[in-house]
């Protein structure tokens, strides 16, 4: 019987995207509501991607 | 080493090249390197800021910098060094080393680990954006109110400071959750808690400190931002606000923060000194226990930073006593390192030189720290250069010397090449001399009464020469850093290749190649002591204790894997799953955050001379929608039980009920807010409304996140009937939900029921 293979998580861009989204959301509070909106959108997309990876990983 | 037990076929670091490798990596070692490189860049920035200040102070009445620029520089220097250099650099080492030292393949939550790093970087960029855009924070690294309030700080520098640090703090808290879960859940078989390396122990204790301390700062920064942006009055003296509350919250965070920056350094030194003394650490269990004692006591000493506020004799006596007591466990560690070296076969490598330098310099910083526990001495020396000398002996002579020792010690493991020892010794002696030239005279200047944070000084006897010596010392230190940079560059290019264990060390990270493969270990050696490599190295000078009679050595074992939601690969006896441990850690930090908001409410709610007051709240109406929230704890519990029985229909039904009850609570809260706003009771009206809306609003935000998460989960189970979430994940979400309910029990009692009295 063959040994099971070592499982390591695959590389992912979603942590970077989520961090950028969260930061942009807060940065927009000081600068422009449009940045906050873009940041929120980016964070939501990143969170979706993150969850999708977890479910299929 | 045994042959590869379970072949790894995923991409290696070498196969993922360029920027993509670094921006998408989830490997704890690569993330650790990102931390170290990023914090090194911030170290250069913070160092340049210090050099500019020293140029200004080189002679009396110099005009290199104006007062505004000087204020911005000391603010950015302190903030950078604490939040963007020392603390994250230590976490970077922990990131790289802890999984290796406990025999794991990665951190418990690799994606969360990457998120933490990116939040550090982006938070730092926000902070420096304000600085470079000409809107620098200039209120000092502890940003006392009311200086930070709108009337006194009209630009956006304070806002950038607060938001930048909130972003980095979220990342730091996530790292603490990850470290704690990793150590609790992913230890290799045989790696009992008492066998953990001291660095891992200190990282674990540091994680607990982070969870218990940093959210208090975050809460204070939220209140400050609300004051500045939403017109609340937490620290607004004119409206009856309490600037001393800022000091309490800041130092409740600030003093444990000192130990967050020192305990991992203790851990590093406790690894390095035994290896280069060829002796086990003296009094190992006591060193661990003293670390715990320091962590506990660090939450009881914060007001020694506030003796000049005038808190009263009882308060001063209490905090003076606790501040003296905390020196005892710290002193125990110093004696342990000395006793380890005593009679040992010392090898004075660069790492060991820095470690010995650490013991000496940290002891001086510790002794001057005890002086501040003596209230009259504190009164006399507060805000003088004596304080600056003390904190730099602790954080530079202490922590940073330990970081440099760790750099020389673990660089071969990280880079696969040894650092040049000749350059290393130049580096050490230049640092040692430069450091003492810079900071020792500050003791004298402080006792002479020279105030810190003032951009210039009069030509009083002795002040000019001592300041000039300090400036020369600062540039000697800068030169020493150039030697280090040259050493790093040359050693990376053509340094002597490092074997797996170039120092004949005993901990697990030295059992794998230098640098380690993506999967860390092929197999883990048998672990039956705190120094597992003595079993496999015949050259070890101090053998492991013999096996008890009749016991046979355990064979090499596979090591536990990381991965979000990963169950333990090899610890069948574990009772809790990783998501549950992670959630419990997170809840600890959340409890600190809400605790700070509740303290603010209790301090301020009844301090306004006029209305609105707590008695304006409609308690029966709130009680009705509170019942919905309380009931939802029962429904989510029922959902978890149904999932355990594989009852899909029942699970969805109870999950749906929880979503509906949570939404009903939120609707009730929205209607309460609408009624209050219709009556002109807005967040900025007075102290009560400031504290009330902030406290209940943050709770509502937490419920909203919970409802969205549960609704998303329900949607997934409905759209894919064959799919069900893992029990551990649902258990973790349930815990969060119960916590949110428990917080509401506290808020309802303190805010609403108390108003009836």
Q: Is A1 within the bounds of a domain?
A: no
Q: How many CA atoms lie within 13 A of B729 on its CB side?
A: 12
- Report yes or no: B202 and B264 within 8 Å, Cβ to Cβ: yes
In chain A, which residues have their Cβ closer than 8 Å to the Cβ of B113?
A: 15
- In 3D space, the residue among B305, B102, B94, B111 whose CA is nearest the CA of residue B205 turns out to be B94
Count other Cβ atoms within 10 Å, centred on residue B460.
12
- Report yes or no: B114 and B519 within 8 Å, Cβ to Cβ: no
pTM for this structure?
Answer: 0.93
pLDDT in the model for residue B560: 64
Q: Which two tokens stand for residue B230?
A: 């939403």
Min distance A34 CA to chain B CA atoms (Å): 17
In this prediction the ipTM stands at 0.95
pLDDT in the model for residue A57: 66
Q: At a CB cut-off of 8 Å and minimum separation 6, what does B411 contact? A: B417, B418, B419, B488, B491
> What's the CA gap between B204 and B621, in Å, rounded?
45
CA distances from B272 to A1, B245, B276, B281, B346 (A): 43, 41, 6, 10, 11
Q: Compute mean pLDDT per 10 residues along chain B, 757 residues long, and list them.
A: 46 66 95 98 98 98 96 97 98 98 96 98 95 89 95 94 98 98 96 96 98 98 97 94 97 96 98 97 97 97 95 96 96 97 97 98 96 95 97 97 98 98 98 98 98 96 97 98 98 96 96 94 86 65 44 51 45 72 97 98 90 92 95 96 91 96 97 95 96 98 95 88 84 95 97 91
φ/ψ of residue B62, rounded to 5: -70, 160
Q: Is A36 within the bounds of a domain?
A: yes
Count of structural domains within chain A: 1
Q: At a CB cut-off of 8 Å and minimum separation 6, what does B348 contact? A: B276, B356
- Which residue reads 């050693």 in tokens? B491
Q: Is A43 within the bounds of a domain?
A: yes
Q: Is A37 within the bounds of a domain?
A: yes
pLDDT in the model for residue B562: 55
pLDDT in the model for residue B541: 39
- Cβ-defined contact of A9 to B21 (cutoff 8 Å): no
pLDDT digits (tens, 9 = 90+) for A12-52: 999 999 999 999 999 999 999 999 999 999 999 999 999 98
pLDDT in the model for residue B9: 57
Mutate to test the interface with A, among B31, B88, B122, B136 (most CBs of A within 10 A): B122
Q: Point out which residues pair with B451 in neighbouring strands.
A: B384
> What's the CA gap between B323 and B302, in Å, rounded?
9
Domain that holds residue A39: 14-56
Q: Which of B24, B123, B170 is opposite residue A13, by nearest beta carbon?
A: B24
- Give residues 1 to 57 of A whose Cβ lies within 8 Å of B: 3-16, 18-20, 22-23, 26-27, 29-30, 50-51, 53-55, 57
Q: Is A44 within the bounds of a domain?
A: yes
pLDDT in the model for residue B606: 86
Q: Which of A8, A51, A54 is opposite residue B105, by nearest beta carbon?
A: A8
pLDDT in the model for residue B543: 39
Which region, left, alpha or beta, applies to residue B498 given φ > 0 means left and ψ of -120 to 50 means alpha?
Answer: beta
pLDDT in the model for residue B10: 59
pLDDT in the model for residue B539: 43
Cα B387 to chain centroid distance, Å, stands at 23
pLDDT in the model for residue B723: 77
CA distances from B63 to B60, B453, B455, B456 (A): 9, 15, 9, 8
- Report yes or no: B474 and B50 within 8 Å, Cβ to Cβ: yes
- Cβ-defined contact of B6 to A22 (cutoff 8 Å): no
Q: Is A32 within the bounds of a domain?
A: yes
- Which residue reads 């509501």 in tokens? A33
Q: Which of A5, A12, A55 is opposite residue B9, by nearest beta carbon?
A: A5
> What's the CA gap between B511 and B520, in Å, rounded?
10
């Amino acid at each position: 019987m063959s040994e099971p293979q070592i499982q390591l998580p695959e590389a992912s861009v979603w942590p970077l995207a989520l961090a950028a989204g969260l930061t942009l959301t807060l940065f927009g509070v000081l600068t422009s509501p449009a940045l906050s909106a873009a940041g929120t959108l980016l964070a939501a997309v990143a969170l979706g991607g993150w969850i999708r990876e977890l479910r299929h990983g | 080493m045994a042959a590869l037990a379970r072949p790894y076929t995923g991409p290696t670091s070498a196969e993922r090249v360029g920027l993509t490798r670094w921006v998408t990596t989830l490997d704890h070692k690569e993330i650790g390197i990102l931390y170290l490189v990023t914090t090194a860049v911030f170290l250069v920035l913070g160092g340049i800021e210090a050099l500019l200040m020293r140029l200004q102070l080189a002679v009396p009445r110099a005009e290199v910098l104006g007062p505004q620029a000087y204020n911005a520089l000391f603010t950015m220097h302190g903030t950078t060094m604490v939040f963007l250099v020392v603390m994250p650099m230590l976490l970077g080492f922990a990131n790289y080393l802890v999984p290796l030292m406990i025999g794991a393949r990665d951190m418990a939550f690799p994606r969360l680990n990457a998120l933490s790093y990116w939040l550090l970087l982006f938070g730092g960029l926000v902070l420096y954006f304000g600085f470079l855009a000409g809107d620098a924070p200039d209120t000092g690294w502890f940003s006392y109110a009311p200086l930070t309030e709108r009337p006194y700080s009209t630009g956006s520098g304070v806002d950038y400071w607060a938001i930048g640090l909130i972003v980095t703090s979220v990342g730091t808290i996530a790292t603490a959750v990850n470290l704690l879960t990793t150590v609790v859940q992913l230890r290799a078989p045989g790696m009992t808690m008492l066998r953990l390396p001291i660095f891992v122990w200190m990282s674990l204790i540091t994680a607990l400190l982070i969870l218990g301390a940093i959210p208090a700062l975050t809460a204070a920064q939220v209140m400050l931002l609300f004051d500045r942006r939403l017109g609340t009055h937490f620290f607004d003296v004119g409206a009856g606000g309490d600037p001393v509350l800022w000091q309490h919250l800041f130092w409740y965070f600030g003093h444990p923060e000192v130990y967050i920056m020192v305990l991992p350094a203790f851990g590093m030194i406790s690894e390095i000194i035994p290896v280069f003394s060829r002796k086990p650490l003296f009094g190992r269990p006591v060193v661990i226990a003293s670390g715990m004692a320091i962590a506990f006591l660090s939450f009881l000493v914060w007001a020694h930073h506030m003796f000049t506020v005038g808190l009263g004799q009882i308060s001063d006596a209490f905090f003076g006593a606790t501040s003296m007591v905390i020196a005892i466990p710290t002193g125990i560690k110093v004696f342990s390192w000395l006793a380890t070296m005593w009679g040992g076969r010392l090898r004075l490598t660069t790492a060991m030189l820095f470690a010995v330098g650490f013991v000496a310099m940290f002891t001086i910083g510790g002794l001057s720290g005890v002086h501040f526990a003596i209230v009259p001495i504190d009164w006399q020396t507060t805000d003088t250069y004596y304080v600056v000398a003390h904190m730099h002996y602790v954080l530079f002579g202490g922590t940073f010397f330990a970081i440099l020792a760790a750099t020389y010690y673990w660089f071969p493991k990280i880079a696969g090449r040894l650092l040049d020892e000749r350059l290393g010794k130049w580096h050490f002696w230049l640092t040692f001399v430069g450091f003492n030239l810079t900071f020792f005279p500050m003791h004298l200047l402080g006792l002479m009464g020279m105030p810190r944070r003032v951009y210039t000084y009069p030509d009083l006897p002795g002040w000019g020469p001592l300041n000039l010596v300090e400036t020369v010392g600062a540039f000697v230190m800068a030169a020493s850093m150039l030697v280090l940079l040259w050493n790093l560059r040359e050693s990376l290019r053509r340094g002597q290749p490092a074997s797996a264990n170039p120092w004949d060390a005993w901990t697990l990270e030295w059992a794998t190649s230098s640098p380690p493969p993506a999967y860390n270990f092929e197999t883990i050696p048998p672990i039956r002591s705190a120094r597992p490599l003595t079993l496999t190295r015949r050259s070890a000078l101090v053998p492991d204790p013999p096996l008890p009679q009749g016991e046979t050595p355990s064979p090499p074992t596979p090591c536990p894997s990381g991965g979000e939601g990963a169950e333990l690969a090899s610890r069948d006896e574990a009772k809790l799953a990783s998501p549950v441990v992670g959630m419990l850690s997170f809840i600890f930090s959340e409890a600190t955050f809400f605790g700070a908001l509740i303290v603010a409410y209790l301090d301020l709610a009844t301090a306004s001379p006029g209305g609105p007051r707590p008695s304006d709240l409609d308690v029966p109406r709130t009680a009705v929608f509170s019942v919905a929230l309380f009931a939802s704890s029962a429904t989510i519990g029922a959902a978890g039980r149904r999932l355990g029985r594989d009852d899909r229909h029942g699970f969805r039904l109870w999950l749906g009920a929880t979503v509906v009850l949570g939404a009903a609570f939120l609707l009730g809260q929205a209607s309460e807010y609408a009624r209050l706003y219709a009556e002109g009771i807005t967040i900025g009206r007075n102290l009560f409304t400031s504290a009330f809306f902030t406290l209940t609003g943050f709770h509502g935000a937490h419920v909203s996140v919970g409802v969205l998460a549960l609704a998303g989960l329900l949607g997934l189970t409905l759209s894919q009937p064959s799919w069900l979430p893992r029990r551990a994940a649902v258990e973790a979400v349930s815990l969060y939900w119960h916590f949110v309910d428990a917080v509401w029990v506290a808020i309802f009692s303190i805010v609403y029921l108390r108003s009836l009295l």
